[in-house]
Each structure stands twice: as C-alpha cells, then as structure tokens.
Amino acid sequence: MNELTLPSPDEYAEFYAVYIERAQARSDVAAALAQQIDEIESALGTLTDEQALFRDAPQEWSIKEVMGHLNDAERVFSYRLLRVSRNDSTPLPGFEPNDYVREAGFDNHPFQDLLQEFEHLRRANILAINNMTDEATLRRGTASGNIISVRALICIMVGHADDHMTSLQEKYLPGLK
C-alpha cells in the first residue's frame, strides 16, 4: 500500500462515522495503527490487575473488559479486512460486543496479557495492511448487512481504538487517582 486515502461516506454504514471521523483527525491513519500500540501501553501499561477491574459505573465494562473488547473488535475487523481485501463477496455477519464481553470472562485474564494481545493483533494487521495493493484497499464487501470498504475498515480500526481510549482517559483513569 502506498498511501491510504480516506473513504467516502458510501463506503461504510453511518454508525461507523464517529470512528471514521476520529481516524480522519489523525494526520496519518496508517501511522496511527502503530502509534496506538504505544499510546495504549503508555496510558494503561502500569495498571495492576486490581486497578484494571475498575468500572466507571456498575453497569459499565471494567478496564479489562474494554481492553478485551478492543482485542475482539481487532480480530473481527481484521477478518473482515482479509475477506474484503481478497475480493470475497460473501456477506459477513455482525457481532454483539456485549455478548462477547460477557462470554469471554476478561476480568479473569491477566491485564498484561490483554495489552500484549492487542499489540500482537495490531502488529499482524499492520503487516497485512502494508502488503496490500492500493487496488485492494478500494475493494468493497458486506459486513453486518452494510457495504464496507477495506480503507474504511482500516480507519474504523483506528477510530474504534481512539474512541475507547478517550473514554478510558476521561471516565476511568481519573477514578483511579
């Protein structure tokens, strides 16, 4: 891939617009993929397992659950990225994040493992994305009943992580001090 061009609104469902906007706010979306590894480590890397059990409110996810959700979403988005970039036109199903978090039991996982998992998943995605042709980034498929392009998926990966990190920094991390 030479340089990632930003997607147009007809390349993703409206509910992804907030993630696309967050990604567009970055000067270089492709560089942001790697930067987020360091940003997450810097913001969360010193938390203990006990601190990572913190919830902003009783019905909210814990920090561990947010991190586990980021890992689940990274996997789902990367699978979509693979299928669509390979010109596979098979419609891909959606997923229910609350169900995934509930079933995963992330609060029982070592927090450092969750952080390391994100790094490994993201680094694998960076390699895959860097080796895509420009043509592949323009391909479109269907996920969750909506059109999605590869370049939109790349932006969604960045915007999704930014969205959750902003929430953690604004609502969760101040509660730990």
Alpha carbons 39 and 42: distance in angstroms, whole number: 5
Tell me if 50 is assigned to some domain: yes
Tell me if 167 is assigned to some domain: yes
As a whole number, the mean pLDDT across the chain is 96
Tell me if 146 is assigned to some domain: yes
Q: What is the pLDDT of residue 2?
A: 67
Alpha carbons 63 and 107: distance in angstroms, whole number: 9
Tell me if 142 is assigned to some domain: yes
Tell me if 1 is assigned to some domain: no
Number of domains the chain is built from: 1
Q: What is the pLDDT of residue 177?
A: 66
CB neighbour list of residue 117: distance below 8 Å, 6 or more residues apart: 71
**CATH assignment of the domain containing 83:** 1.20.120.450
Weakly modelled stretches of the chain, pLDDT under 50:
none
Tell me if 3 is assigned to some domain: no
Question: Which helix H or strand E contains 175, and what residues bound it?
Answer: none
Alpha carbons 160 and 156: distance in angstroms, whole number: 6
Q: What is the pLDDT of residue 4?
A: 85
| Domain range enclosing 152 | 9-176
Which residue shows structure tokens 């993630």? 19
Tell me if 4 is assigned to some domain: no
Nearest CA to 115 among 54, 41, 166, 165? 41
pTM above 0.85, yes or no: yes
Tell me if 20 is assigned to some domain: yes
Cβ atoms of 149 and 84 within 8 Å: the answer is yes
